[in-house]
C-alpha cells in the first residue's frame, strides 16, 4: 500500500473511534419528551402552595414567578392570559399566552408552560416548531407545514438560497466558455 | 456578418452528429409531456409533498431525456441562450419583487417580506388566502430559476464533452 | 451483555449508519487518486450529514419509535375523514426538513462547479490522476 492510503486508513479509524465514544452519550432518538419539539426547561421553580394554585386557576400569575421571570430578562408583557392545557397528554399544567406585536398576524401565542410536579411548580418555554404545527392550518390555509415554513416563516433563507443557485449557474458559464467558441 | 434582429444561435454553428435509435426516440416522445406535467404537479407543493426546488429539478430532467434521445444540436435549438438569461433572472425578480411590493403597498409600514400587508382579501374575500396565493408566486419563481440554471449547467458540460471528443478524434486521425 | 448491546447499538442505529457513511466519504476524499472519485466522496459525506439531521427530528410518545407521521396536516383534504382536522395525531418536527432542503440544493450546486473545474484541469494537464499532476508541476519548477 502507498503511504497516503495507510495513513488515511489510520486517521479514519481514529476518527471513527472518537465519534463512537461521543455517540454513547447521545440519548436514543424518538425521545418522548424531546425538548426540541415541546418545551425548554427554564429551571425556575417555586413551592406549590394553595394560594399560588388558586391564583393560577383564576388567571393571574403569582408575584414570585413574575419577579423571577423578569430577573432572567424574559418577556412577560401586560395583557397575558392563563389557560389550563396539556391534559390530553396527561400532564397537569397551565399555558401562558402572551400577545406578540406582529403586524397583520393573529396575536396571542403560547409562550410558557407551568407544570405542577412533586409539589413544586416548574416553568417551561414552548419552542418555535410548536407554533408552526398549531397555527399552520389557520394562518395560511396550507396543509403542508414544510412548504409553509420555507416560504413564509423562513423566507429570508430561501431568498439567499436562490441567489446561491443563480451564482452557481453563472460561475459554470464563466469557467467553461472562451472567447469566440462556446 | 450579423443580420439585424436575428443572430445566429450557436447551436447551428457546429453540428455534432448523433445516431438515432428507434426505441429510444419513440419512448422519449411518449414520456416527455408526462414528465413535464408531473413537474407542474410537484411544483405546487401546497396540498401534498413537494415544493419549488423539487419541481424545477424534475422539469430539467425532461430536457436531459430530450438530449439523450435526439442529440445535442437539436436540444440546443430548443433551449437557446437568450432564454437562459431571461428565465434564470425572472424567478429571482419574482421573489425579491414580492418583498418590495409588501413595503410599497402598505405605505412603508410593514417589513420586507411581510405577506399580510397585501390587500388580497379585498379582492378574494377570505383573509387566509394570503398564504396560499403568495406561496404560489414564490414557489413558481423558485422553480423557474432552478430549472433554467440546471439545464444550462447540463448543456455546458455536455457541449464541452462533444468538443473534446471531436478534437481527440481529429488528432488521432492525423 | 445483551442489554448493553440493545441499549447502545440497536436503539441508536441512526447514529451508527450516519457515522459509517461519513467515514466512507471522508476516506474516499483523502486517499483516492482520481479527481472524480474525490468528488463522489464529497457527495457521500454530504448525504450522511443530511440523513443524521433528519433523523434527529423524530418524536415518539409512548413507545419505541412508532407512530409519527410526516409534517403534513392530516384530514385537511376533503377526501380524508370528511374535512375535519384530527386531534391527537403526532407530527414529526418540521424544522430539520426545512433546513435540509437548502442543504441538498447547495450540495448539488457545489458538485456542478467542481465538475466544471475538473474539465478545466483536464484541459491544462492532460490527466486527472493527482500523482501525475504533482509530477508535472514539480518537473516544471526545476530550472
Q: Across the strands, what pairs with A117?
A: A120
Whether C69 maps to a domain, the answer reads no
Number of structural domains found in chain C: 1
Distance CA B21, CA B24 (A): 6
Give the lowest-confidence range in A5-14, A40-49, B143-152: A40-49
C65, part of any domain: no
Q: What is the model's pLDDT at position A37? A: 56
Q: Which residues of A touch B92 (CB under 8 A)?
A: 162-163, 166
**What per-residue confidence (pLDDT) applies to A33?**
52
Residue A157, C-alpha cell as written in the block = 433563507
Instruction: Tell me which residue range forms the domain holding C109.
Output: 2-60+94-141
- Per-residue pLDDT tens digits for B149-168: 999 999 999 888 887 777 77
Whether B5 shows a pLDDT value over 60: the answer reads: no
CB A98 within 8 A of CB A83: no
Sign of CA dihedral A51, A57, A63, A65: positive
Q: How far apart are the first and last CA of chain B?
A: 32
Interchain proximity A139–B115, CB inside 8 Å: no
Residue A22: is its pLDDT beyond 70?
yes
The domain ranges of chain B are: 22-169
Q: What is the pLDDT of residue C121?
A: 92
All cell numbers assigned to B5:
434582429
Task: Write the residue in B48, B146, B157 that is nearest to C115 by C-beta.
Answer: B157
pLDDT in tens, B13-71: 577 888 888 999 999 999 999 999 999 999 987 777 788 899 999 999 999 999 999 98
What gap in Å lies between CA B130 and CA B124, rounded to an integer? 9
Nearest CA distance, C137 vs chain A (angstrom): 19
Q: Looking at the complex, report in whole angstroms how far the Cα of residue A110 sits from the nearest Cα belonging to chain B.
A: 21
Give me the pLDDT at residue A165, please: 93
Consecutive 10-residue runs of chain C (143 residues): their mean pLDDT?
A: 74 82 92 93 94 78 49 57 51 83 94 94 90 88 67
Joined grid coordinates for residue A48: 406549590
- B122 close to C (CB below 8 A): no
- Between chains, do C116 and B156 touch, taking CB under 8 Å as contact? yes
CATH number of the domain where residue C106 is located: 1.10.287.3510
Residue C56, all three cell numbers: 434527529
Q: What is the mean pLDDT of residues A89-108?
A: 67
Contact A4 C30 (CB under 8 A): yes
DSSP string, C58-81: ---SSSSS---B-SB-TT-STTSG
Q: Read off the pLDDT band of B99 (50, 70, 90).
A: confident
C60 touches chain A (CB under 8 A): yes
In a domain, C112, yes or no: yes
pLDDT of residue A28: 61
**Which run of H or E residues covers position A112?**
strand A108-117
Tally of CB atoms within 10 A around A155? 19
User: What is the β-pairing status of strands A108-117 and A120-126?
Assistant: antiparallel
Alpha helices in B6-128 (DSSP H): 22-43, 52-70, 72-78, 81-105, 120-123
Angle in degrees, CA A16, A19, A20, rounded to 5: 85
The mean per-residue pLDDT over the stretch A152-179 comes to: 89
Taking Cα atoms as reference points, which of B116, C101, C77 lies closest to residue A102?
B116
pLDDT score for B61: 95
Which residues of chain C have a CB within 8 Å of the CB of B46? none
Phi, psi of A143 (to 5 degrees): -75, -20
Q: Residue B87: is its pLDDT beyond 90?
A: yes
Secondary structure (3-state) at A41 = strand
Evaluate the CA torsion angle B52, B90, B69, A173 in order and state its sign: negative
ipTM: 0.83
pLDDT given at position A84: 75
* Contact assessment for residue C31 and residue C24, using Cβ atoms and an 8 Å cutoff: no
Q: State the average pLDDT for chain B.
A: 82
Is C71 a member of any domain?
Answer: no
Would you say residue C75 lies in a domain? no
Chains that touch A (3 or more CB pairs under 8 A): B, C
* CB pair distance less than 8 Å for A166 and B88: yes
Domain presence at residue C99: yes
Lowest mean pLDDT among A2-16, A98-112, B11-25: A98-112
Answer whether C93 sits within 8 Å of A37, measured CB to CB: yes
- The answer to whether residue C72 is domain-embedded is no
User: What's the whole-number average pLDDT of chain A?
Assistant: 75
Higher-confidence residue: C43 or A115? C43
Contact: B142, A105; criterion CB under 8 Å: no
User: By the CB < 8 Å criterion, does B1 face chain C?
Assistant: no
C-alpha span between B144 and B32 (Å, rounded): 18
Amino acid at each position: 500500500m502507498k503511504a497516503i492510503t495507510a495513513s488515511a486508513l489510520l486517521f479514519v479509524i481514529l476518527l471513527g473511534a472518537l465519534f463512537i465514544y461521543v455517540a454513547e452519550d447521545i440519548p436514543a432518538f424518538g425521545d418522548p419528551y424531546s425538548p426540541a419539539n415541546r418545551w425548554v426547561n427554564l429551571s425556575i421553580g417555586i413551592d406549590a402552595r394553595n394560594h399560588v394554585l388558586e391564583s393560577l386557576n383564576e388567571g393571574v400569575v403569582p408575584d414570585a414567578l413574575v419577579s423571577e421571570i423578569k430577573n432572567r430578562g424574559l418577556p412577560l408583557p401586560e395583557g397575558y392570559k392563563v389557560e389550563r392545557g396539556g391534559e390530553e397528554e396527561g400532564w397537569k399544567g397551565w399555558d401562558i399566552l402572551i400577545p406578540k406585536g406582529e403586524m397583520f398576524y393573529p396575536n396571542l401565542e403560547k409562550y410558557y408552560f407551568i407544570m405542577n410536579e412533586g409539589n413544586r411548580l416548574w416553568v417551561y418555554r414552548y419552542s418555535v416548531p410548536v407554533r408552526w404545527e398549531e397555527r399552520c392550518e389557520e394562518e395560511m390555509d396550507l396543509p403542508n407545514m414544510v412548504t409553509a415554513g420555507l416560504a413564509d416563516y423562513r423566507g429570508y433563507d430561501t431568498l439567499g438560497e436562490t441567489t446561491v443557485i443563480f451564482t452557481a449557474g453563472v460561475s459554470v458559464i464563466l469557467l467553461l466558455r472562451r472567447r469566440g467558441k462556446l | 456578418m450579423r443580420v439585424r434582429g436575428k443572430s445566429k444561435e450557436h447551436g447551428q454553428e457546429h453540428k455534432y452528429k448523433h445516431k438515432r435509435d428507434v426505441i429510444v426516440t419513440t419512448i422519449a416522445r411518449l414520456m416527455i409531456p408526462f414528465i413535464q406535467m408531473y413537474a407542474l404537479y410537484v411544483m405546487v407543493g401546497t396540498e401534498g409533498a413537494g415544493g419549488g426546488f423539487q419541481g424545477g429539478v424534475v422539469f430539467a430532467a425532461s430536457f436531459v431525456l430530450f438530449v439523450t434521445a435526439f442529440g445535442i444540436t437539436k436540444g440546443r435549438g430548443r433551449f437557446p441562450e437568450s432564454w437562459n438569461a431571461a428565465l434564470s433572472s425572472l424567478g429571482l425578480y419574482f421573489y425579491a419583487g414580492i418583498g418590495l411590493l409588501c413595503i410599497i403597498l402598505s405605505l412603508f409600514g410593514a417589513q420586507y417580506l411581510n405577506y399580510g400587508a397585501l390587500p388580497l382579501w379585498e379582492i378574494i374575500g377570505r383573509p387566509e388566502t394570503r398564504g396560499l396565493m403568495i406561496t404560489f408566486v414564490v414557489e413558481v419563481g423558485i422553480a423557474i430559476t432552478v430549472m433554467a440554471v440546471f439545464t444550462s449547467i447540463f448543456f455546458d458540460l455536455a457541449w464541452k464533452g462533444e468538443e473534446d471528443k471531436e478534437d481527440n478524434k481529429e488528432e488521432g486521425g492525423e | 451483555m445483551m442489554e448493553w448491546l440493545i441499549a447502545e447499538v440497536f436503539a441508536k442505529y441512526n447514529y451508527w449508519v450516519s457515522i459509517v457513511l461519513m467515514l466512507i466519504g471522508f476516506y474516499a476524499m483523502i486517499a483516492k487518486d482520481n479527481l472524480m472519485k474525490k468528488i463522489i466522496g464529497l457527495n457521500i459525506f454530504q448525504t450522511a450529514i443530511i440523513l443524521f439531521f433528519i433523523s434527529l427530528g423524530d418524536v415518539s410518545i409512548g413507545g419505541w419509535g412508532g407512530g409519527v407521521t410526516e409534517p403534513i396536516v392530516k384530514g385537511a383534504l376533503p377526501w380524508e375523514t370528511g374535512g375535519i382536522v384530527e386531534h391527537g395525531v403526532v407530527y414529526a418536527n418540521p424544522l430539520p426538513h426545512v433546513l435540509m432542503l437548502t442543504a441538498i440544493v447547495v450540495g448539488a450546486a457545489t458538485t456542478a462547479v467542481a465538475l466544471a473545474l475538473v474539465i478545466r484541469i483536464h484541459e491544462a494537464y492532460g490527466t486527472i490522476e493527482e500523482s501525475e499532476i504533482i509530477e508535472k508541476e514539480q518537473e516544471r519548477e526545476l530550472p
